[in-house]
Amino acid sequence: MHLLAKRRIYITCILLTLVFGLLILRLGWVQIVQVNQTMPGFHRTVREMSVLQRERGVMLDPGRGQFTDYKGEALTGKLQWGLVLFPQASPLETLRKYGALEGSEMIQLAAILHTDPDQLKKEWNQESIPHFWTAGTHQPVHLTAAQVERLRSLHLQEAGIYPMMTRYLHGHTGMQWMGYLAEQPESSKVLTGHQDEVKQPFAMKSGAAGLERTLEPLLRGIGPTLVSRMVSGGGEIIPDIQPHVIAPTNSHYPLRVETTVDAELQRGLEELTQESGLQEGAIVVLDTANADVRAMISRPFYQPQHVDPKESSWGNRAVQGAVPGSIFKIVTAAAALEYHTVSNGEEFHCGGEYGRYGLSCWKEHGHGDLNLEQGFAESCNIVFAETARRLSMEQLENTADRLGLARPIGWEGKQMAGMPVLRHFDHEDHGRVRTEAVSSADEGAKIQTAIGQRDVLVTPLQAANLIVTLLHDGKVSAPRLVKRIRYADGGTMLEMPLHDSPSTSGQIAPATAHKLLSWMNKVVREGTGKSLQRARWHVAGKSGTAQVQKHGEKRNNQWFIGYGPVEQPQYAVAVLVQNVSPDSQHQATALFRKVMDYLAESS
């Protein structure tokens, strides 16, 4: 019995030794190996997360990827100086500590910041965590070089001057294609596990629209840069331990997105729309060589820093469908040529009224006798109504598809960088020729469709790309907004090569494309675009006016799409002026000329 008890004690000791041994091994693993491993979803090691749990900090840079234009000029991301206030956790302690500064440093500091001591003390003490000085605006105040120099001379212990990353460089802008960021409440928890431990100038945000959204998985980076102070168990900042900066050490990040946009051209055309009084509409400028977007402006402008999702200004009208009016006659003319429904030189008579379907020509007493080419130049509704009668609705749809209309044509890639589909144009409308409710046998609907009315919708991007398609003998290109994505150290992460956007029905004949281009030239020489003869370049194109309604009132959409210079085309341009009075002059043609003149001066 005595031996049995001794044996049990011996076995128990061995088991306890094994248990303690395993615990020691586990502790050693945690302290030596696991402490340096990255925690899933955090991009930080266990050691760093442990330190962050005992700190209070402010974000200097979210580590998000930045955008540049095609020449390398920054479109986002600018380092600016700000003042970080490091208050105590206890407001009473803070008041006691800073009460003695009113006659010296506090007054000097307030003077440098162009505020009064009471306002400064109020903001300093209203939060128990570090934060940027905002002057009550809820946005960090950017310090001037003179302010930075004077602040440094004060040698403040409870405040510091730090560089912060300002994402958007402009206030109101027409770059809706870039999009904006929106706060994701859960995302700030990845920093420390507690939302109130890090005060950020723009919080942890994710892309909510535009390229910010479509490239979100690539842009979000691997973690923010923080400046923080160590705190005691009671949450008070430990004054003897100086602030320190925590930043990711991966040289590849943040990424840099090289867009196809020309920043100088974008700014210039935005100013042009402002001077021209454009209220609603869009301008798209494509490089005729490859359909790359050189400028894309949407009106009204938006403020990427302050977006109200309930408003519509953040939407990119350049990729939203609008009733095209007579620019759709390019499609009808192409269909007539492709299906040989109109004989060479055949004439039609325009007396001003069609006599059916409530259709009339814009010229009150008509154009008289004219052929399809002349009808195209004069944008005669009667000629195109008669032409449409000889075509089927399916032939119009088929031709539109072959020209890159009624379907998304923006660049996209599949299975790239771990993304199933990578798109350049967020919320790109498909456009359409008709709705499902319209019967192919409805001749009235077909005729209205042929002149770009009824249910037809075209985006300005599609309209500009239509010009590029004709210049490339009928081959439809996929417009790009992004050329490549680079690592922070300059290496290439992802190339986005040029590619086409072919129709399953093939493409129009090169001869058809050439004829339509020559007809566009005639629009300017003899037709509705004669005012463009005074442009700096020799240009060609097609005008359009569509009847629409807004809030029950009759309004017009005005278009002009074309290219220049005719001899050696460089740019294809689409101008859309929306919801103007039916009695107003054709603003789109005038604006098209201004855009082309600007391009000529810039070339």
CA 283: distance to chain centroid?
A: 15
- Give the pLDDT of residue 364: 80
- Give the pLDDT of residue 265: 98
Whether the bond between 408 and the residue before it is cis, its omega within 30 degrees of 0, is: no
- Give the pLDDT of residue 351: 87
Q: With contact defined as beta carbons under 8 Å apart, do 499 and 466 qualify?
A: no
Q: How many Cβ atoms sit within 10 Å of the Cβ of residue 357?
A: 14
- Give the pLDDT of residue 17: 82
In the chain, the percentage of residues whose pLDDT exceeds 90 is 63
Q: What is the pLDDT of residues 71-100, one digit of tens each?
A: 999 999 999 999 998 875 444 444 444 444
Q: Sort residue 393 into left (φ over 0), alpha (ψ -120 to 50) or beta.
A: alpha
Name the pLDDT band for 55 (thresholds 50, 70, 90): low
Q: Which of 26-30, 231-235, 590-594 has the lowest mean pLDDT?
A: 231-235
| Domain annotation for the chain: domains and CATH numbers | 53-259 (3.90.1310.10), 263-602 (3.40.710.10)
Buried b / exposed e along 101-140 (16+ C-beta atoms within 10 A): beeebbebbbebbebebeebbebbbeebbbbbbeeeeeeb
Q: Whole-prediction pTM value?
A: 0.86
Mean pLDDT of 152-181: 90
Q: With contact defined as beta carbons under 8 Å apart, do 384 and 350 qualify?
A: no
Mean pLDDT of 588-597: 98
> Count of alpha carbons within 13 Å of 462, Cβ hemisphere only?
31
Q: Which two tokens stand for residue 7?
A: 């044996």
In the chain, the percentage of residues whose pLDDT exceeds 70 is 87
